[in-house]
């Protein structure tokens, strides 16, 4: 279970960052990345954060994974307050984002074993899970190659396997299919569905409508750091009177911004 309540995250901009804003009047010292955001992700569901680039999706996921401290509001993961016990929260999540990279010097197997150690997974269990994850994501033939020698897609699959090695109850994936070919992307989404069926709590962010439509049980549309709409795909279509999520999203975007920019 993930409970996000009135989450707010703002940054103070440096002078350099301020100077980069062309419009002098628009220059404000504090940038609000996420504002008053609340939602709950229940076990056995895949929750999608949908929004354009810069909407605040990654910031929200970073706050849930304890890498960022909320300016205001609370985040609870499996009933644990993320600010009070960040280590406990980190022990129960898998966090995947583009900013987090694996050391290219090591092999997938080395890396998997190392992170399993950090999560205190018993050795025998590690080997068993490594085998299963490598087999599922077709990493086995490459498990002893250096990560630096692998293709971009293979690296992404290794990163997914590494993030799941401790079999956590909560999964937080930021743009999980980014940069993957259609077959691999399908494998990842199928795996996420399988994890959902096992009762895991899953939250992903995406700006790809088809991914959200096919994968997510619930969706929160985030625009400019705030929640613009939420619900199941069907309910969002109903709310907006559109036939597909693409059009529904556009409708919500227009309503929020008062027209297409």
Partner 1 sequence: MSQALKSIIARELKRIFTDRRIVITLFLVPALSIGIIYSVMGYLSMNFIKDVEAHVSTYVISDAPESFKVFLTQNPDLTEGVELTYVSGETVDTYAPSIKGGSLDMFARFSDDFDTRIESVESASVYTYYNYGEDYSEASFHHFVNDVLDAYRNEILTARFENPNAIMAFKVEDLSETAETVNEDKASGKILSTIIPMLISIFLFAGAMSVVMDSIAGEKERGTLATLLVTPVKREAIAIGKMISHGIIATLSALSSIAGMLLTLGILMLFMPNELDIGVSLGYSALDIVYLIGLVIMLVGIYVGIISLLSALSKNVKEAGTYMTPVYMFIMVVSFLNMYAFNAEPIWKYAIPIYGQIVGLKEIFMYQITPVKFFVAFANAAVTWTVLVLWIRNLFNNEKVIFTSS
Residues at the site binding partner 1, with contacts judged by CB under 8 A: 11, 62, 65-69, 87-88, 90-91, 93, 95, 99-106, 110, 114-115, 117-120
Least distance in angstroms from the C-beta of 178 to partner 1: 15
Residue 140 burial by Cβ neighbours in a 10 Å radius (0-12, 13-18, 19+): middle
**Which CB, 80 or 217, lies closer to partner 1?**
80
Angle between helices 152-164 and 182-197 (to 10 degrees): 10
**Which CB, 66 or 230, lies closer to partner 1?**
66
**Which CB, 162 or 219, lies closer to partner 1?**
162
Least distance in angstroms from the C-beta of 107 to partner 1: 10
Q: Strand 72-77 and strand 2-12: pairing?
A: antiparallel
CA 199, CA 203: separation in Å to the nearest integer?
13
**Which CB, 59 or 240, lies closer to partner 1?**
59
Least distance in angstroms from the C-beta of 192 to partner 1: 19
Tokens of 225: 């750091």
CA 226, CA 238: separation in Å to the nearest integer?
21
Least distance in angstroms from the C-beta of 204 to partner 1: 16
**Which CB, 155 or 215, lies closer to partner 1?**
155
Starting at the edge strand found earlier in the chain, the sheet holding 30-41 runs: 30-41, 2-12, 72-77, 80-81
Least distance in angstroms from the C-beta of 133 to partner 1: 17
């Amino acid at each position: 279970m993930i409970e996000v309540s009135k989450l707010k995250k703002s940054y103070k901009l440096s002078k350099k960052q301020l100077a980069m804003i062309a419009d002098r009047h628009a220059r404000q010292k504090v940038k609000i990345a996420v504002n008053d955001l609340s939602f709950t992700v229940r076990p056995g569901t895949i929750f999608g954060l949908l929004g354009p680039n810069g909407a605040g999706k990654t910031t929200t996921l970073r706050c849930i994974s304890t890498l960022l401290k909320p300016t205001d509001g609370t985040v609870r993961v499996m009933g644990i307050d993320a600010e009070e016990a960040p280590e406990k929260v980190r022990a129960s999540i898998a966090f995947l984002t583009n900013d987090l990279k694996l050391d290219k010097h090591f092999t997938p197997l080395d890396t998997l074993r190392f992170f399993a150690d950090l999560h205190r997974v018993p050795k025998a269990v590690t080997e068993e899970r490594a085998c299963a994850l490598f087999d599922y994501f077709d990493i086995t033939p490459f498990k002893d190659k250096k990560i630096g020698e692998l293709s971009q897609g293979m690296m992404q699959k290794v990163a997914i396997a590494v993030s799941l090695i401790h079999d956590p109850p909560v999964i937080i994936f930021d743009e999980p299919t980014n940069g993957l070919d259609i077959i691999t992307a399908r494998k990842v989404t199928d795996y996420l569905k399988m994890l959902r069926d096992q009762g895991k709590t899953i939250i992903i962010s995406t700006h790809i409508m088809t991914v959200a439509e096919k994968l997510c049980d619930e969706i929160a549309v985030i625009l400019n750091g705030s929640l613009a709409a939420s619900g199941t795909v069907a309910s969002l279509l109903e709310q907006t009177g559109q036939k597909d999520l693409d059009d529904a999203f556009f409708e919500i975007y227009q309503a929020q911004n008062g027209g297409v920019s």
